[in-house]
Amino acid sequence: MTYLLNDPADFAVDALRGYAAAHPEHVMLAHGGVVRSTDTPVNQPALVIGGGSGHYPAFAGWVGPGLAHGAPCGNIFSSPSASQVYSVARSAENGGGVLLGFGNYAGDVLHFGQAAEKLRAEGVDVRIIRVSDDIASGPAESHRDRRGIAGDLVVFKIAGAAIAAGADLDEAERVAWKANDATRSFGVAFEGCTLPGAGEALFHVPDGEMAIGLGIHGEPGIREVPLGTAAEVADLLLDGVLEEEPERSGAYSGRVAVVLNGLGAVKYEELFVVYARVAEQLAAKGFTVVAPEVGEHVTSLNMAGLSLSIVFLDDELEEYWLAPADAPAFRRAAAGLPSGPPRTEVHTPGEDPIPEASAESKESAALIVQVLELLRDTAAEHEEHFGRLDAVAGDGDHGQGMAYGTRGAAAGGRDAADKGAGARTVLLHAGDAWAEEAGGTSGALWGAALTAAGGVFDDARAVEAPAIADALAAGIDAVVRLGGARPGDKTMVDAALPFRDALAAEFASTADLAGSVKKAAAVAREAAEATAGITSRRGRSRILGEKSLGTPDPGAYSFSVLMDALGNFLGSPGSFTELRSETSPDKQ
């Protein structure tokens, strides 16, 4: 458990604030993360790396000369929001473009991708590196589709060294991908981690066993095997990563970088016991180890476990691996590293100006805020159940994410409405707030859905029933477009698409908005329940395969619950009821 905290919801923010206060010579706070305390040299690419909190020293601990220029940090095990990534990147960028790096997880892909789109729209050249070193999460032939674990350190260290040596953005991107493609990792766990404020670990490993192929977000392994000695664990990890050793010819001759990583509860002496065997076996197999790293580099709160990363080096990768670096959690021969002048400011999201709105649109905005507050209350009521569904084959945080997201959306929408915003602007603000508060995959998707729905409305006119139906469809289309999931992947899409189609058909027939939404929500609930018979093919739960069978997808289920609540609201007195018969099929 976590002993020292204030409010569990503020744990990540409090920790980041304390980290920045402890290392003022290296970093300063930016919106949603940290940047170097010195400006990025003019025209040097900015390496911006990040992910969820709970992994220290990844990612904030790696900000400094020779490594990263900034790190956006999300909530525990949740991606930073697009606005946080954007703000950190804006603070770090100084004419040379931005290289965004993160582990290959759906939420990070979505939020970093959204930030990249915004930066590109403003003329900033942005490249993306998705670290994918975990051999347990996919086959060798699909290496770049795997998830990222402790290989993050190696890839970002090498990319940062290339930038410090003068690489432009094209060259830095090339080197980073080269490092990623040369890196393999494998891990085991002995007990799950506990979220701050929680009284129980996310999963337990049976006594005398260990979980093979763990993730770093509280996911259990893909299978359990008997717990061996330290030497047997070392052999298991080493055999796993060496199965994908390239042929020793040409640029690669058996020189490797090694990172033995503790995940939080396995401490240094234990790691040294394991590494003694790793070093012995590597020498026996004819490898030459270059600057090994043994310690905590990418943790998972207090998870009991460890991972082994091997980088198959050529001369270029070895040079950058050995190059100087000076970050709070990773220092190597740092004397003389160039840095920029003292930083005087960081990008801070200003209060977006509220566009003029008509009185009619403001009235609609007030009703939209009531909807958002109802969704907030509904998510809070079902938080525990959503979390239990997610814990079966995921990391158990879906209930928390939905509670955080709806709470943020309601507050963001209310704040905009209080400042005179119309219907469109209220939903746009609510979408940004949902994504920022929730983080993760669901935060990005629901944030995009609200933003797309808001785009259907107008600050100059009242919201009418056909526009509400169109907005719901637009939001779902945005989820499909951004998330890339298809029916049968066991995601929110399995409930959202049937909802969209049922709503369109029913509303075209009856023009009864509330009744149409209620019937469509019932269709969505049925579709969500049917996902219990599907094996997950996307997201973190895909790694656990068969474990997801028999349990509905939490995202599909929560979607159906919120849509049912929406239908109830639309049918209640004083809430858009006058719109239900305003446009009927025979009037169109």
pLDDT tens per residue across all 588 residues of the chain: 789 999 998 999 999 999 999 999 999 999 999 999 999 999 999 999 999 999 999 999 999 999 999 999 999 999 999 999 999 999 999 999 999 999 999 889 999 998 998 899 899 999 999 999 999 999 999 999 999 999 999 999 999 999 999 999 999 999 999 999 999 999 999 999 999 998 888 888 999 999 998 778 767 778 899 999 999 999 999 999 999 999 999 999 999 999 999 999 999 999 999 999 999 999 999 999 999 999 999 999 999 999 999 999 999 999 999 999 999 999 998 656 777 788 878 877 655 689 999 999 999 999 999 999 999 999 999 999 998 898 886 767 899 999 999 999 999 999 999 999 999 999 999 998 999 888 778 888 999 999 999 999 999 999 999 999 999 999 999 999 888 889 999 999 999 999 999 999 999 999 999 999 999 999 999 999 999 998 876 655 555 556 668 899 999 999 999 999 999 999 988 766 554 344 333 433
Report pLDDT for 271.
98
The residues assigned a catalytic role are: 217
Q: What are the strands, taking DSSP E only, across 231-327?
A: 255-262, 288-289, 293-295, 304-312, 325-327
Report pLDDT for 234.
97
Report pLDDT for 73.
96
Three-state DSSP state, 479: helix
Amino acid at 288: T
Q: Rounded CA gap, 125 and 431, in Å? A: 26
Q: Rounded CA gap, 54 and 299, in Å? A: 7
Q: At what angle do helices 554-570 and 513-530 cross, to 10 degrees?
A: 160
Report pLDDT for 547.
67
Nearest Cα to Cα of residue 331 among 287, 295, 299, 279: 295
- Asked whether 472 and 141 are in contact (CB, 8 A), the reply is no
Task: Give the Cβ contact number of residue 466 at 10 Å.
Answer: 18
Three-state DSSP state, 129: strand
Sign of CA dihedral 244, 540, 264, 88: positive
Amino acid at 413: G
Measured in whole angstroms, the distance separating CA 57 from the mean position of its chain's CA atoms is 17
Q: Rounded CA gap, 233 and 210, in Å? A: 10
